[in-house]
Homo-oligomer: A and B are copies of this chain.
């Protein structure tokens, strides 16, 4: 009986969140452990299904996990790294695309379909979704900067109740161009802004943004982030994450979340309970 009361309690606590988010669009950057660990994959799928069923429109953008490096190794293609970015030549690009669009993308789409929602794996090359040019005049080879988004395919798919799963690859400017490798965080932010998403959620392997005492910031405003970066509190790998958040926020997305994908059901906890599991960044 006590169990019952708690069940009811939980459902009722979810009510205001359901009310607020129904018919809104969330873009989820899926990456890190949550993408690799089979148990966390399963939880992720359950979370997506729940959000979908209460009427949230979902768009997933995924990264490449560690599969790209593994395949490049198997094919004995070596990569140079500059500024932490893999310099991508044409031969590597072929592998990057193949792994992202053909392997990981379909793995995620399959996972969700197996849970009873209709997910559809596409690449940024499809339906002219993403166009790019070489970043920094080609310093990193085929690593690209998004130059144009045609979001009609995403809007069509979510209107028809599909869940688009997007590989962060963009078309080049000319016919026959091998395309560009896009940072998944930025692709997610740009797409979120373009379609007027309510929320963007970055699933990471960190608890969120931490202060010097390793305490979590629940909420950060745009201006605070600038200060924290200057003070060196936000540093290293967290910088591109918060920058992707700001990109989304500046583009009109209401809230950007950096959550801990290592926590089981991190999405449900973040979205439907008062127990947030990361840092939320607002305008």
Interfacial residues, chain A to chain B (CB-CB below 8 A): 3-8, 10-15, 18-19, 22, 38, 46, 49-50, 53-55, 74-75, 94, 97-103, 105-106, 109-111, 113-116, 118-123, 125-128, 152-153, 156, 160, 162, 169, 171, 174-176, 179, 264-265, 268-269, 272-273, 275
Contact = CB atoms under 8 A, between A and B. Distances in A.
A98 to B, nearest CB: 4
B111 A103 contact: no
A119 B110 contact: no
| Number of identical monomers bound together in the oligomeric complex | 6
Contacts of A102: 97-103, 105-106, 123
A7 B13 contact: yes
B125 A122 contact: no
Contact of A8 (B22, B109, B169, B268): B268
A175 B106 contact: no
Contact of A53 (B46, B54, B120, B126): B54
B269 A49 contact: no
Contacts of A100: 102
A255 B165 CA distance: 35
Contacts of A122: 120-122
A19 B127 contact: no
B99 A15 contact: no
Q: Most chain-B Cβ atoms within 10 A of its Cβ — which of A4, A19, A273?
A: A4
25 contacts: A3-B275, A4-B269, A7-B275, A8-B265, A8-B269, A10-B10, A11-B268, A11-B272, A19-B53, A98-B103, A100-B102, A101-B106, A102-B105, A102-B123, A106-B123, A106-B126, A106-B169, A109-B123, A110-B125, A113-B171, A118-B127, A118-B153, A119-B126, A121-B123, A160-B160
Contacts of A3: 275
Nearest to A71: B98
A259 B103 CA distance: 32
A237 to B, nearest CB: 26
Q: Most chain-B Cβ atoms within 10 A of its Cβ — which of A74, A114, A119?
A: A114
Contacts of A18: 50, 53-54
Contact of A264 (B6, B8, B121, B125): B8
A92 to B, nearest CB: 13
A261 B152 CA distance: 32
A38 B275 CA distance: 30
